[in-house]
Chains A and B, each alone.
Chain A
Amino acid sequence: MRPADNIEESIKKLRYKTDTETHEKILGNVLQTLDKNEKQDSGGTRPDMWRTIMNAKTRKFATAAVILIAAIISLHFIAGPFGATTSVYAEVAERLHKALTMTYKMTTTTPLEEMPDMEMEVSFKEPGLMRMTMEGGYVSVMDSVRGKGLSIIPEKKQFVEMDMSNLPDDPSKNPLNVIEKLRSLPDRADEELGTREINGQVVQGFRVTEEGITSTVWIDPKTKELVEVEVEFVNAPGMGGTMTDIRFNVELSDELFSITPPDGYTRLELQVDVSEASEDDLIEYLRLWSSWTRDNSFPPTLNPVELAKVSMEMVKAGKFGPEEQTTEEQGMDRAMKMTRGMMFVMKLPTESNWRYAGENVKHGDAETPIFWYQPEGSETYRVIYGDLSVKDVAPENLPQ
């Protein structure tokens, strides 16, 4: 084929290559610039991966870790609102009862400009199959029946296998039982919000709060269709997500839910924990944070929105130690641990009377309580101390 025959393809072949020596020279100069930059930074401190998440200025820091976190968050969102919103679906119960598949778009939101919104498309199919896709082709598939999951990172040709055998035993807490939950629909809306318009459609709103998550559900009273669900964490106002484009009984091929890694992909060693976030996750979160601060102090707040703001100031003030060299897997693992710790606090209900008092307390201080809460049904409180030990304490003995 002559170049004139397919001129565009021929132009693409007009490629130039620099020799290795020149590349190394250029790269050396570029890296030197980075070195100079760092020396000019205050105290030479550099945020590590988590602090970078908190400070991320990138519009789309869509990394494997973040997407995995999003997957976990999404599962909790789903477990929350659908487990909780009950009477609000009464009118659509019959329609939902026949649903075998469900798809929707989820947009996560934060009140922080620095933390970009993330969009994902979610699909469910009986029995217990879930698939999430994000911009960039990142896909996560979970199969609750087989207790396995798979996430693929197309650009890197890598995959992560998830062992989901640690899903909660209680079926009502199994995030993959979404459709089943929708079918049950008991009558429990906390508040009726009246009507509003969404894209020219008049919808009726209901609000319900459960497990630290407030869900606002908008239903079209004429068509009985679920139009939008807004989810917000009570303990982190402004942080949450919105479900839109909700569809039922869409035809979804089984191939979409395959958990077989594509050919040519390599395994990324990462343990993904999809169990319910627990007190241990919070302790790990506190331990990690205190290992990053120069004085081993705990975070000044557990509100993730506030913490994101404060952490930026702390980076500027040089309050973090030098970056620890970590592998990609270690970084992702940490990011997930941190998220799980935050999830535990964000989902604590108001009735747990939780309180955080870790500001300015240093790791190792066995005398000072830094966090306490009352587990549901318990007469005593769980109190975490500065050495990260935990004791059961009677209400009358709590710190004032």
Chain B
Amino acid sequence: MLEDGLLIWKLKGGSKDALRAIYEKYADDLVTLAANLINDKVGAEDVVQDVFISFAESVDRFRLTGSLKGFLATCVANRCRDCIRKNRRGQAAVIGKAERSSPEVKSPVQLVIDSEELRKLGNALTELPYEQREAIVLRLHGDLRFRQIAKMQNVSTKTVQSRYRYGLDKLRSSMNGEVRK
């Protein structure tokens, strides 16, 4: 937070180094966040690029009211939703589990710990209803509080907590080989 305050301060003064530092600090986290939300690794990079470009364009007006990571994570989540909506409308491929389960598809973005179990978990995550997946991913990869996720999803905090809990239960069941609707 302290360092972020200083970086924003410098960035507002036009410092490219500050923007570079912010990017280097959060880019991988944000790519991870986006990749887990839309399960499209290349798409995740596009999302992160778009978010940073918007951020750079509007930094003069930007006011840090919470954590910078939280702000960027929220931007990424909003953009991922847009991506998914667009893909649904245009019947374009929302990248599903096919990509994760096809090791021959080479992407510049790679799972850091490439284990079979984790790959299965990633696939199971993809199977969750989007709201549940979003609650889990934003909580665990975006470090957002339930209250913040609730605001984004426009539901109560309790609803988000339920989505989170149900989502985790389903993942546990999937990993234990149970069939659950």
Question: What residues make up the interface of A, taking CB atoms closer than 8 Å to B?
Answer: 2-4, 7-8, 10-19, 21-23, 26-27, 29-31, 33-34, 37-38, 46-49, 51-53, 55-67, 135-138, 153-156, 323, 328, 331
Binding stretch for chain A, among B30-38, B83-91, B145-153: B30-38
A185→B168 CA distance, assembly (Å):
62
Tell me which residues across on chain A come within 8 A of B113, comparing CB atoms. 13, 15
Q: How far is the CA of A153 from the CA of B13 in the complex (A)?
A: 22
CB of B19 within 8 A of CB of A34, answer yes
Cα A56 to Cα B117 in complex, Å, equals 48
Q: Would B9 and A63 count as touching, CB distance under 8 A?
A: yes
Residues of chain B within 8 A of A135, CB atoms compared: 1
Nearest-Cβ distance from residue A32 to partner chain B, whole angstroms: 9
Q: How far is the CA of A8 from the CA of B141 in the complex (A)?
A: 10
Interface residues of B in 109-154 (CB under 8 A from A): 109-113, 117-118, 120-122, 125, 136-137, 140-141
| Docked-complex contact A60 and B5, CB < 8 angstroms | yes
Whole-angstrom distance between the alpha carbons of A12 and B121 in the complex? 11
- If the complex has contacts A3-B121, A4-B175, A60-B1, are A49 and B19 also in contact, measured as CB distance less than 8 A? no
B121: A residues at CB distance < 8 A: 3, 7, 10-11, 14
Residues of A within 8 A of B9 (CB): 49, 52-53, 56, 58, 61, 63
- On chain B, the number of residues with a Cβ less than 8 Å from chain A's Cβ atoms is 60
Q: Is the CB of A23 within 8 A of B13?
A: no
Q: Is there contact, CB below 8 Å, between B10 and A16? A: no
- Which residues, 45 to 60 on B, are CB-close (under 8 Å) to A? 45, 48-49, 52-53, 55-57, 59-60
Q: Which residues of A contact B56 (CB under 8 A)?
A: 30-31, 33-34, 37
Q: Which 10 A-B residue pairings sit nearest by Cβ, starting from the closest?
A: A4-B175, A46-B14, A63-B6, A136-B1, A136-B2, A33-B56, A15-B112, A30-B52, A58-B64, A16-B35
Q: Give every chain B residue within 8 A of A59 (Cβ-Cβ).
A: 63-65
Give bound CA distance, A10 to B49, whole Å. 27
Q: Do the beta carbons of B28 and A15 come within 8 Å of each other? A: yes
Assess whether B44 is interfacial by the CB under 8 Å rule.
Answer: yes
**With the chains together, A263 CA to B158 CA distance in Å?**
42
A18 engages B2 (CB within 8 Å): no
A to B CB contacts below 8 Å, 20 in the list: A11-B171, A13-B112, A13-B113, A13-B118, A14-B125, A15-B28, A16-B35, A18-B31, A18-B108, A29-B53, A30-B49, A31-B16, A46-B13, A49-B13, A58-B62, A58-B63, A62-B5, A63-B6, A153-B3, A156-B2
Residues of chain A within 8 A (CB-CB) of B27 are 18, 23, 26-27
Q: Are B28 and A17 in contact (CB under 8 A)?
A: yes
Output the residue of B13, B49, B53, B63 with the most chain A CB within 10 A: B13
Q: Name the distance in Å between A344's Cβ and chain B's nearest Cβ.
A: 25
Q: How far is the CA of A37 from the CA of B53 in the complex (A)?
A: 11
Q: For residue A26, which residue of chain B has the nearest CB?
A: B49
> If A11-B136, A49-B9 touch, does A155 touch B49 (CB 8 Å cutoff)?
no
Residue of B nearest to A30 (CB): B52
Q: Which residues of B contact A16 (CB under 8 A)?
A: 28, 31-32, 35-36, 41, 44, 109-112
A58 contacts B44, CB within 8 Å?
Answer: no
Cβ-defined contact, B32 with A62, below 8 A: no
B160 within 8 Å of A (CB atoms): no
**B81 interfacial by beta-carbon distance below 8 Å:** no
Check A33/B53 contact, CB under 8 A, given A48-B13, A60-B64. yes
What's the least CB distance linking B44 to chain A, in Å? 7
Q: Is there an interface contact between B60 and A37, defined as CB atoms closer than 8 Å?
A: yes
Task: Identify the closest chain A residue to B49 (Cβ).
Answer: A26
**CB-based nearest A residue for B52:** A30
Additional A-B contacts beyond A16-B31, A16-B41, A27-B20 (15; CB < 8 A): A3-B117, A4-B172, A8-B140, A11-B140, A13-B113, A17-B112, A23-B24, A33-B56, A34-B19, A46-B13, A51-B13, A56-B9, A63-B9, A64-B2, A154-B2
Within 8 A of A (CB), among B78-116: 108-113
Q: State A136–B6 Cα separation when bound (angstroms).
A: 12
The smallest C-beta distance from B111 to any residue of chain A, in angstroms, reads 6
Are B13 and A328 neighbours in the complex by a CB distance under 8 Å? no
Across the interface, A27 reaches (CB within 8 A) one of B23, B57, B171, namely B23
Residues on B with beta carbons closer than 8 Å to the beta carbon of A156: 2-3
Q: Is the CB of B8 closer than 8 A to any CB of chain A?
A: yes
Which of A16, A38, A65 has most B Cβ within 10 Å?
A16
Q: Which residue of chain A has the shortest Cβ distance to B3 in the bound complex?
A: A155
Cross-chain contact B23 with A30 (CB below 8 angstroms): yes
